[in-house]
Chains A and B, each alone.
Chain A
Amino acid sequence: MKKYIIISALFMACISILSGCKKDDTPVDEDGLLITTRTDCYVSNFELLGPDFQTVRSKAPVIDTAAGTINQEVLYGTDLRSVWPQFSLAQDCKLNPKVTGKTDFSDLANPRQYTVISGNRQIRKTYKVIITVQTR
Chain B
Amino acid sequence: MTINFKSYIPFFAGIVLLFAACSKNDDYAVPTPKNQLQNDCIKRSLGPNVVGGYIEFAYAMAIPKAKGKLVSAQVEASIPGGAGTYLENRSFYTNSSGVDVPVKIGDPSVTNGNVTTTNFTVDTNAATLRFFYQAPDAARGKQVSFTFTAKSSNGETVTYKMGPYSVSKMDMALDLGVTDADSSYISIADMKVYRRSQPVDPAKIDLIYMYRTFTTVTYKHALVAPAAPKDYLTDFVVPAGATNDVRLVKAFNLRDQQLARLPYGIFIDDPDFLAQDFTNTPDYFLNIKQEAGAWIETADGKYRAYIYFNVVDDTKKRMTISIKRYTMK
Query: A: which residues have CB within 8 A of B?
Result: 50-54, 75-77, 79, 81-82, 104, 134-136
In whole Å, how far is B249's beta carbon from the nearest beta carbon of chain A?
Answer: 5
Does B217 lie within 8 Å of A52, measured CB to CB? no
Q: Which residue of B lies closest to A102 (CB)?
A: B280
- 21 A–B contact pairs at CB < 8 A? A50-B250, A51-B250, A51-B281, A54-B250, A75-B217, A75-B218, A75-B286, A76-B218, A76-B219, A77-B219, A77-B232, A77-B284, A77-B287, A81-B280, A81-B281, A81-B282, A82-B280, A104-B280, A134-B217, A135-B216, A136-B219
Asked if B227 is at the interface of the complex by the 8 Å CB criterion, the answer is: no
Does B292 lie within 8 Å of A52, measured CB to CB? yes
Does B217 lie within 8 Å of A136, measured CB to CB? yes
Q: A75, A135, A136: which contacts B287 (Cβ < 8 A)?
A: A75
- Which residues of B are found within 8 Å of A134, using beta-carbon distances? 216-217
- Asked, given contacts A77-B286, A77-B287, whether A135 binds B217 with beta carbons under 8 Å apart, the answer is yes
Tell me which residues from 292 to 324 in chain B have a Cβ below 8 Å from any Cβ of chain A: 292
In whole Å, how far is B257's beta carbon from the nearest beta carbon of chain A?
Answer: 19
Does A82 lie within 8 Å of B217, measured CB to CB? no
In whole Å, how far is B143's beta carbon from the nearest beta carbon of chain A?
Answer: 34
Does B252 lie within 8 Å of A136, measured CB to CB? no
Does A79 lie within 8 Å of B217, measured CB to CB? no
Does B252 lie within 8 Å of A82, measured CB to CB? no
Does B218 lie within 8 Å of A51, measured CB to CB? no
**Interface size in chain B (residues, C-beta < 8 A):** 18
Main secondary structure on B side of the interface with A: loop
Tell me which residues from 236 to 276 in chain B have a Cβ below 8 Å from any Cβ of chain A: 249-252
Does A54 lie within 8 Å of B252, measured CB to CB? yes
User: Bound state CA distance, A77 and B214, in angstroms?
Assistant: 13
Query: B: which residues have CB within 8 A of A?
Result: 214, 216-219, 231-232, 249-252, 280-282, 284, 286-287, 292
In whole Å, how far is A134's beta carbon from the nearest beta carbon of chain B?
Answer: 5
Q: A82, A104, A136: which contacts B216 (Cβ < 8 A)?
A: A136
- Which residues of B are found within 8 Å of A135, using beta-carbon distances? 216-217
- Which residues of B are found within 8 Å of A76, using beta-carbon distances? 216-219, 286
In whole Å, how far is A111's beta carbon from the nearest beta carbon of chain B?
Answer: 19
In whole Å, how far is A21's beta carbon from the nearest beta carbon of chain B?
Answer: 36
User: Bound state CA distance, A82 and B216, in angstroms?
Assistant: 24
10 smallest CB-CB distances across A and B, nearest first, come from A76-B217, A52-B250, A52-B252, A77-B286, A79-B282, A81-B280, A134-B217, A136-B217, A51-B250, A51-B249
- Which residues of A are found within 8 Å of B250, using beta-carbon distances? 50-52, 54
In whole Å, how far is A100's beta carbon from the nearest beta carbon of chain B?
Answer: 15
- Which residues of A are found within 8 Å of B287, using beta-carbon distances? 75, 77
- Which residues of A are found within 8 Å of B232, using beta-carbon distances? 77
Q: From B217, B231, B232, B252, name the one whose CB has the most chain A CB atoms within 10 angstroms.
A: B217
User: Bound state CA distance, A13 and B281, in angstroms?
Assistant: 64
- Which residues of B are found within 8 Å of A54, using beta-carbon distances? 250, 252
Does B281 lie within 8 Å of A79, measured CB to CB? yes
User: Bound state CA distance, A54 and B284, in angstroms?
Assistant: 16
User: Bound state CA distance, A118 and B22, in angstroms?
Assistant: 63
User: Bound state CA distance, A104 and B219, in angstroms?
Assistant: 23
Does B251 lie within 8 Å of A136, measured CB to CB? no
Q: A52, A77, A79, A81: which contacts B251 (Cβ < 8 A)?
A: A52
User: Bound state CA distance, A98 and B289, in angstroms?
Assistant: 32
In whole Å, how far is A23's beta carbon from the nearest beta carbon of chain B?
Answer: 42
User: Bound state CA distance, A77 and B216, in angstroms?
Assistant: 13
